[in-house]
Structure 1
Amino acid sequence: MSAAAAPTPTWDPAQYLRHAGHRARPFTDLLARVPDLPQDPPRIADLGCGPGNVTALLAQRWPTAHITGYDNSGEMLDKAHSEHEGPTPGGGRLDFAHADVRTWTPDEPYDLIVSNATLHWVPDHVGRFGAWVAGLRPGGTFAFQVPGNFDAPSHRLMRDLADRYGLTDTLRHEDAVLAPEAYLRRLADLGCVADVWETTYIHLLTGEDPVLDWVKGTGLRPVLTALADTPDRHEAFLHDYRAALREAYPPGPHGTPFPFRRIFAVARKEA
């Protein structure tokens, strides 16, 4: 996948959390489709937990669970440790650990392995599915959601501009995620009963240049990281990208509509 050439981005938890409500909704929609887990209290892994705000939602759904969020960003993990780690009100526990999703393999049986808006950063992530499903207890679930908007104006314009700035290999392309049918086929091949679907959210964003503000927290991070040591190019890129986004996403009377397609999968391992 094209993501293999992308540099490891530097993450900014505060910027990421500026749109926390919109970003959390797909995760809550994903969890609503997860069936009962085989063990109580359950053991749960969250791959790519970020600052831990959505990992904490797992403790609301499964109050007794021992939940571990894994991430490879020290900045994100610092935020998660300080704000979410510890005993949960239902008698469970929430903790966080450093791990690279590209190589992470379960070292104990899990009832649920979940990933929220992370796998598109992992080249050939479907190649990891076998190890993760093998790490589930019988009757356990592997569930994830990924963005499916790489052909949206926000991302096309970003890639076109990156090409002009000599950053062609910095960003992920359309092949960063698979078609829903391909995910369904792969999960079924692993012996899972899979439910795969897609949804396009129309987020109504407010404020000045809200789409730029959104992508600064996620998709634009590799570019911001690559240009961090050249302030003039950094500012020039943002100037050009801001102008293009204003034309592609004009504000309306109530805010700026921002369509965002996502792909979901819930795969249950046979009991």
Structure 2
Amino acid sequence: MTKPTWDPAQYLRHAGHRARPFADLLARIPGLPGDPPRIADLGCGPGNVTALLAERWPTAHITGYDNSPAMLDRAHADHEGPTTGGGRLDFAEADARTWTPAEPHDLIVSSATLHWVPAHADRFTDWIEALTPGGTFAFQVPDNIDAPLHALMRELAATARWKGRLADVLRPEDSVHTPGAYLDRLARLGCAADVWQTTYFHVLEGEDPVLEWVKGTGLRPALTALADDPEARDAFVAEYRDLLRDAYPSAPYGTVLPFRRLFAVARKAA
């Protein structure tokens, strides 16, 4: 899988839809033991959902971590600083593949990030060990690698025209585990775990809205791999766009994108 470059403006085109799963995850996180609490957001992106943590815990010291300079620049500019309750929101560069907390945390949360991290479940041990007693590790990830927007992308990338450029570039089909596998891993680490799935039916507006959605996320590795050849990049996107138009037809009220996500909230014993 190619490490993608990220475009904050493209990602934020559907900011409301993308923030909703984080709000749903946040609603299931129990009270935190620290006063004020210490919180980390792994894969914070442009910081718009990290800011929701400050609304829930206004006294907390919250740090959003990301490995994209472009995303961090946007987060610094739009969201960093003191919070209304006397806490602080800041951002720092880090990679979830290697990040280990330097101090105890009351909450480690990650939204739409871990599916980009190979062997991410192996990191759970370090993160849970870093939680204070009674602290929580919570995450959500897209769980729709079998959906047309991904399946069609993979099929197109595997055709004779594109496989030489895009072989092994896209996110693999095993990048997310089953709900039962996550539950088992978290429970064996001594946590009370709550794992569930939700399918959202996003109604998107505008021209080719599913393409615009995936250009902000799942298509990024292909766009990155073809960045040095704009003609080829545009040709691949045009072919993919046509496939998406058939798979996700528009209606008078918009275009419906069914999108399944997987959630987990794991609380460490007090």
Task: Give the aligned residue type for 2:67.
Answer: N
| Structure 2 portions without partners, runs of 5+ | none
Greater Cα shift, 260-269 or 167-176: 167-176
Please give the per-residue CA displacement for 1:185-204, whole angstroms capped at 9, x wherever unaligned: 00000000000000000000
**Counterpart of 2:106?**
111
Q: Say whether 1:33 aligns with 2:32.
A: no
**Counterpart of 2:55?**
60
Shift of 1:90: 1.1
Please give the per-residue CA displacement for 1:47-104, whole angstroms capped at 9, x wherever unaligned: 0000000000000000100000000000000000011000001110000000010000
Percent identity of paired positions between Structure 1 and Structure 2 = 73
Partners of 1:232 and 1:83 lie apart in 2 by 34
**Counterpart of 2:246?**
247
Shift of 1:173: 2.3
Contact 1:43 1:112 (8 Å CA) reproduced: yes
**Counterpart of 1:155?**
150
Q: Say whether 1:47 aligns with 2:42.
A: yes
Shift of 1:253: 1.6
Aligned length: 266
Partners of 2:266 and 2:143 lie apart in 1 by 19
Shift of 1:154: 0.3
**Counterpart of 1:141?**
136
Partners of 1:119 and 1:261 lie apart in 2 by 15
**Counterpart of 2:86?**
91
Shift of 1:232: 1.4
**Counterpart of 1:3?**
none
Partners of 1:155 and 1:168 lie apart in 2 by 14
Partners of 2:158 and 2:100 lie apart in 1 by 36
Task: Give the aligned residue type for 1:19.
Answer: H
Contact 1:159 1:168 (8 Å CA) reproduced: no
**Counterpart of 1:211?**
210
Partners of 1:231 and 1:87 lie apart in 2 by 42
**Counterpart of 2:259?**
260
Question: What SS class does the counterpart of residue 187 from structure 1 fall into?
Answer: helix
Question: What SS class does the counterpart of residue 170 from structure 2 fall into?
Answer: coil
Partners of 2:254 and 2:263 lie apart in 1 by 27
Partners of 1:224 and 1:180 lie apart in 2 by 30
Question: What SS class does the counterpart of residue 194 from structure 1 fall into?
Answer: strand
Shift of 1:229: 0.6
Question: What SS class does the counterpart of residue 140 from structure 2 fall into?
Answer: strand
Shift of 1:161: 1.0
Contact 1:42 1:110 (8 Å CA) reproduced: yes
4+ runs of 1 displaced by more than 2 Å? none
**RMSD across aligned positions (CA):** 0.5
Task: Give the aligned residue type for 1:158.
Answer: M
Task: Give the aligned residue type for 1:260.
Answer: F
Partners of 2:53 and 2:79 lie apart in 1 by 12
Shift of 1:155: 0.2
Q: Say whether 1:123 aligns with 2:122.
A: no
**Counterpart of 1:226?**
225
Output the TM-score relative to the length of structure 1.
0.97
Partners of 2:119 and 2:22 lie apart in 1 by 22
Greater Cα shift, 166-175 or 204-213: 166-175
| Structure 1 portions without partners, runs of 5+ | 1-5
